[in-house]
A and B are shown apart, each in its own frame.
Chain A
Amino acid sequence: MIHTKTTTRTMIRTMLLTFQLRSVVEQTVKCETLKRIIDERVRTKELASFAVWGVQREEAHACMRIQIDYARDTSNIQFNGSLPEDEYSLGDTRQLDLEEDEPIETCRIWREAIDWFVRLCDAHDLSLAWSVRWTAQADRAELCKTYGLAQVSFTDKTEGGPAKAIPNSLFSELSAMFAFSGDMASDEGV
């Protein structure tokens, strides 16, 4: 019974977390491949992070990296009712698809921060691109082949520039690091 409760709890949390990550994609690059990666590789704990970049002439001047720390779940979601021994749940979270118009809450601070990020990229004529990083346990070559991914070719100019981490107000496993290039901060050369 405890195992079933834990499994159900984990599945619900994974679903909500996935929904949060999908909403980040929807607010930025709107890429179906990235949404598919989130759908399929968060529950297997193979997706370590993904980044949305503001790119111009093969140089990235803005970066938003969403980090997933699977070991850091400090949520206090608990189920008070006791489930019977013969109750079973779906083993595949894809079968628990959420309705598109279902009002599920996402982090409002992140929504605002991402809105700012997109607005700043737009103001500096940066186009949005994305990339992913896999966890150590993942078969990177196989995953890249599955999703048709290649090594990032642009230069990261955000190193050493202003940066700020904004935690997610709903999921302690998630954090977003926003970074900009020194050129963008001084508004020269972008």
Chain B
Amino acid sequence: MADNRTDCLQTCLICLQQMMERFPYNPPWEALRVAIEAELDTCETAAARTEPKPKQVCVCCRLRPATLKCGFCAQCEAIYESLPARIVDGRCGCGHPARETHVYRRRSDDGDRMFCSADCCAVDYAEVMSIFLDMWHRKVEHA
């Protein structure tokens, strides 16, 4: 999902964080970390707004056409807000470690739910919308 530039920046950030843990109190490294994180955010935002390949279906609802490079349609992207993985400390609510450069958050009044990948979002979407998806698939098959 991530492009080469994002991968390089992510690798660089991990190396830098390891260096900072081993040799703390070095202000230039902190400034560099902030700069890389800012650059990474720019990459992720730009990547998310790029048009995907035609005829690709949304990786979440698996019905609508994907309109974003991350593979989501606009509606699913609105439900599952994308956040940088580092802010959830590498692990999210579904129990898996973060697998991608970002995680997804679905808002809930009794506590937000975090998902580590588009696959986990798809599982959640299928569970929440199960009644509609069952009816829709039955109708489509019947037609």
Interface residues of A (CB under 8 A from B): 74-75, 107-109, 111-113, 115-117, 119-120, 123-124, 162-164, 166-172, 178, 180, 184-187
Indicate whether A164 sits within 8 Å of B109 (C-beta atoms), given known contacts A116-B136, A187-B139.
Answer: no
CA distance A168 to B107 in the complex (A): 10
The answer on a CB contact under 8 Å between B131 and A123 is no
Tell me whether B12 is interfacial, beta carbon within 8 Å: no
Taking the closest CB of chain A, its distance from the CB of B140, in whole angstroms, is 9
Nearest 8 CB-CB pairs, A to B?
A116-B132, A164-B131, A172-B109, A169-B107, A187-B142, A108-B79, A169-B108, A108-B78
Interface size class of B (residues with CB under 8 A): 10 to 19
In the complex, what residues of A have CB within 8 A of residue B108's CB?
A: 167, 169
Best-buried of A116, A117, A178 by chain B (most CB within 10 Å):
A116
Interface residues of B (CB under 8 A from A): 75, 78-79, 106-110, 128-132, 134-136, 138-139, 142
- How many residue pairs link A and B with beta carbons under 8 A? The number is 62
Best-buried of A109, A115, A124 by chain B (most CB within 10 Å):
A109
The prevalent SS among residues of B at the interface is: helix
The answer on a CB contact under 8 Å between A108 and B107 is yes
CA distance A180 to B132 in the complex (A): 10
In the complex, what residues of A have CB within 8 A of residue B135's CB?
A: 120, 162, 180, 184-185
Other-chain contact of B132, A75, A113, A168, A186 (Cβ < 8 Å): A113
CA distance A5 to B138 in the complex (A): 52
The answer on a CB contact under 8 Å between A169 and B109 is yes
The answer on a CB contact under 8 Å between B75 and A112 is yes
Indicate whether A113 sits within 8 Å of B129 (C-beta atoms), given known contacts A120-B135, A184-B135.
Answer: yes
In the complex, what residues of B have CB within 8 A of residue A167's CB?
A: 108-110
